[in-house]
Amino acid sequence: MRQSNTIMRPGVRAAIRISYCFITVNAFAIGCSGAATHPRERDPRPLAFCDPTARAAPAERLTSIVRTPTRYEQMARQVPGGFAGFRREESRPGWLLLLVDTAQASAARIFLLQVLTSGDADLLPEVKATDLTRARAVPVVWSLAQLHDWLRVLTPTLLKAGPDSNLVVRGVGISPERNRLSVTVGDERSRAGVEKLLGRLNVPCRLVETEISGPLVF
């Protein structure tokens, strides 16, 4: 198993090939169900049906879902530039700063430096102040705020679709390394059903990937 090189909040470890914060059918909390692995992993696949013009999650759906965000999510929403986390450089030591708008990289660094020098430094346990000043800003499609919003909107529908449509939906989560949401299903028929369902919900392109895998093993 290849470990993730992307920072999520403390306590979240790698699952499959990338980091996940899973919501399972037995625990709808948009939180983490601990360290888990999926046997018989397969490569993620983008949706066959998507809306190329959609971006923000529907506001009316967000207001109808009440939950308490984590400290990490609250912090991520305040970082200028659409913060999406950190990723290790592949060709040299150091970190990449993932932002939707890299023009705001300086403002993002200033904000994150304040986090590191405050009582919230535990939110970025692997990043040091010297790492932050050297981190190269790279553009991504989605901020963590956007990923969390879409996760809130899509999760109830996906988990309800399993029992209602006889689809095997094993989990829904954020994959920060791939800057996507990931829906894990049990077979190809369930993958096709989930893709059609999300297509009817006008889900943006490049937002969701599906994977086929066995049950979670804790």
- How far is residue 9's CA from residue 72's CA, in Å, rounded to a whole number? 6
Q: How many CB atoms lie within 10 A of CB 157?
A: 16
- How far is residue 190's CA from residue 195's CA, in Å, rounded to a whole number? 9
Domain ranges within the chain, ordered by starting residue: 14-67+144-212, 71-139
Q: How many CB atoms lie within 10 A of CB 139?
A: 15
- What's this model's pTM, rounded to 2 decimal places? 0.78
Q: What are the helix (H) ranges across 79-218?
A: 105-116, 129-134, 144-165, 188-200
> Residue 42: its pLDDT value, please?
58
Higher pLDDT among residues 214 and 39, named by residue: 214
- How far is residue 3's CA from residue 1's CA, in Å, rounded to a whole number? 6
Task: Report which residue type is found at 2.
Answer: R
Task: Report which residue type is found at 12.
Answer: V
Which residue is it, tokens 């009817």?
A: 200
pLDDT digits (tens, 9 = 90+) for 31-68: 333 444 444 455 788 887 888 888 888 887 777 776 78
At 49 the three-state DSSP class reads coil
